[in-house]
Amino acid sequence: MTLDTLIDTLLDRTVVAGYTKVGYRVREHTWPSQALEPMPGKVVVVTGAASGLGLAAAEGFSRLGASVWLVVRSQSRGDEAVVRLRDRGVDGELRVGVCDLSELASVRLLAGELLAQTERLDVLVNNAGVLTARRELSADGIELTFATNVVAPFLLTNLLLPAMLARSAGRIINVSSGGMYLQRLRAGDLQSERGHFDGAAVYARSKRAEVVLAELFAQRLPAGGVTVHAMHPGWADTPGLRASLPGFYGLARPLLRSPQQGADTILWLGSATEPGRRSGCFWHDRQARPAHLLPFTRETAAERERLWSACVELSGLTDRPVQRPWETSDGALQSHS
Domain containing 73 — which CATH number? 3.40.50.720
Over the stretch 274-322, which tens digit does the pLDDT of each residue have?
A: 999 999 999 999 999 999 999 999 999 999 999 999 999 999 997 543 3
Tell me which residues of the chain have a pLDDT lower than 70.
1, 3-4, 6, 10-11, 14-15, 319-337
Determine, yes or no, domain membership for 229: yes
| Known active-site residue 203 | yes
- Asked if residue 5 is part of any domain, the answer here is no
Q: Is 196 within a domain?
A: yes
Q: What DSSP string describes 98-150? A: E--TT-HHHHHHHHHHHHHH-S---EEEE------SS--B-TTSSBHHHIIII
Nearest of 158, 169, 153 to residue 121 by alpha carbon: 169
Q: How many CB atoms lie within 10 A of CB 312?
A: 21
Residue-by-residue DSSP string for 257-299: BPHHHHHHHHHHHHH-SGGGG--S-EEETTEEE-S-SSGGGPP
Tell me the three state secondary structure of residue 230. strand
Phi, psi of 269 (to 5 degrees): -65, -30
Calpha distance 57→61 (Å, rounded): 6
In a domain, 26, yes or no: no
What pLDDT is recorded for position 322? 30
Give the model's pLDDT for residue 293.
92
What is the model's pTM? 0.92
The pLDDT tens digits for 49-94 are: 999 999 999 999 999 999 999 999 999 999 999 999 999 999 999 9
- Per the structure, how many domains does the chain have? 1
What is the rounded CA–CA span in Å between residue 36 and residue 241? Answer: 27
Q: What is the per-residue pLDDT for 1?
A: 57
Residue 150 domain flag: yes
Q: Is 143 exposed, middle or buried, given 0-12, 13-18 or 19+ CB atoms closer than 10 A? A: buried
Map residue 29 onto helix, strand or coil. Answer: coil
Question: Does residue 14 form part of some domain?
Answer: no
Domain span at residue 276 reads 38-319
Active-site residue (options: 19, 24, 203, 249): 203
Tell me whether residue 276 is in a domain: yes
Predicted pLDDT of residue 3: 63
State the CB neighbour count (10 A cutoff) for residue 25: 11
**Angstrom distances, CA of residue 102 to CA of 10, 72, 148, 164:** 38, 12, 5, 24
Question: Does residue 16 belong to any structural domain of this protein?
Answer: no
